[in-house]
Amino acid sequence: MQVTIYHNPRCSKSRDTLALLEARGIAPRVIEYLKTPPDAATLDKLLTLLKLQPRELMRRKEAEYSLLGLDKPELTRNELIAAMLATPRLIERPIVVVDDQRAVIGRPPEAILSLFV
């Protein structure tokens, strides 16, 4: 089983989620997405796995969301994905992926347990 976490070490929920994985004996591949953002195809696949639209994966309370005008309803999926790639702070975290086939957002961290039942 391949487990990947899109992680921000400065985020308590992300740290708690990583600790929860490690406590279960899982050594995930850790991607610090602020340093190494996913590409457009990967982010699109994550959205599909999460069954979310781009805005649902965005941190809408971040200042950049308003400053960039990302609340405009006419923005396309690709435009919203491009905004997340350009400003990865907008991506909700942490995201845990199992075998490139299932994914959840670790908010709360215990939400990831559904991946392992």
* Catalytic residue numbers, as ranges: 11
Q: Is 6 helix (H, G, I), strand (E, B) or coil?
A: strand
The CA-based diameter of the chain, rounded to the nearest angstrom, is: 45
